[in-house]
Amino acid sequence: MIKVGIIGANGFLGLELLRILSIHPKVSLQKILKRENDIDDEFTHLSSLNLTELQTSNLGDFHNLDCVFLSLPHGSAEEYVKELIGKVKIIDLSSDFRISDAQSYEKYYKSSFDANLQNKFTYGFIESKIDDIKNSENVANPGCFALASQLAIYPFEGLINNISITAITGSSGGGKAPTSKNHHSVRSKDVFSYNVNQHRHLAEIFQSFPSLTDNLSFVPLSGPYTRGIYVTAHIQSIENIDLDELNELLKNKYSNMPFLRIQSQNKLSNVVGSNYCDISISVKDNQNFVVEACIDNLIKGASGNAVECMNLMFSEDQSLGLKEMLPLYL
């Protein structure tokens, strides 16, 4: 069994980690870092798991585990990483260790860069870096917008002349604490853009695809629903293309990836509650096509992808504990 701990279990991503890990056949959840509120009191739907007895305020209790998940706001993971690195395998769901270039990190995150720590993490874009992740001690899980966009781009990287991405996300992407912008009572009746061509997840996309730095436009939108990200990428090709060729590229790139599904038409409810990413293609003419991709932002866009990384890091089947999570649909 893989002995696991969670630091930051009281947030939305932490709750999804608990849900996934509680049914994982090779995981023994050992420790949860205690927060201000007892987790069983704050989230009574978890009471059957008896999590109170797993809570601890002593970071030393995590030293003898096999893997620790960090699910914390940006800027909060570093103090825990410094304590744990080299003692256990770490999977960080924050944005603290995703970017390897200091200039890019400081541009998009406006905070200091510790090259010594950054270089100890592998970026958890599984579909592109599966072998690196298998051999890693520490993984930085991708951001949800970044991962959904990269999954849409990856099979077609060599064809792209220009690309314009519109990505809409649900209210859970704003985190647990409501704000005037993220409160669902506001978002549930509205759609609005924000951080157009400035969103911090661009740093991850450009890191993976540096050739797109000057020819990618990115419009993030807040949508009137709770879970999910829907990406629409309009791509102008550098050469003539047809639908059969594009589908072949897609199949070749993702044929061995258990959570990538090719659809004739996408629908967000087909992935919500699951670790799947659905992708579809449509062709406008011989040099322009559209790629659509959708994921659950809390699962494939965060906690589910992190558990996939854990499986790979411990030489388990990539889909273990995740394939059983079928989409909720309704």
User: Which residue numbers are catalytic?
Assistant: 144
The number of beta carbons lying within 10 Å of the beta carbon of residue 239 is: 10
Q: What are residue 288's phi and psi, to 5 degrees?
A: -135, 130
Nearest-angstrom CA–CA distance, 152 and 144: 13
DSSP-assigned states of every residue in 81-116: HHHHBTTBEEEE-SSTTS---HHHHHHHH-S---HH
Give the CA distances from residue 111 to residues 96, 108, 180, in Å, rounded to whole numbers and listed in that order: 10, 9, 24
C-beta separation of 294 from 278 below 8 A: yes
The set of residues, in sequence order, having a beta carbon less than 8 Å from that of 90 and lying 6+ positions away, is 67, 68, 70, 81, 84, 121, 137, 138, 139
Tokens of 289: 């096509």
Q: Is 55 exposed, middle or buried (0-12, 13-18, 19+ CB in 10 A)?
A: middle
Give the CA distances from residue 199 to residues 71, 75, 93, 117, 161, in Å, rounded to whole numbers and listed in that order: 20, 17, 17, 24, 21
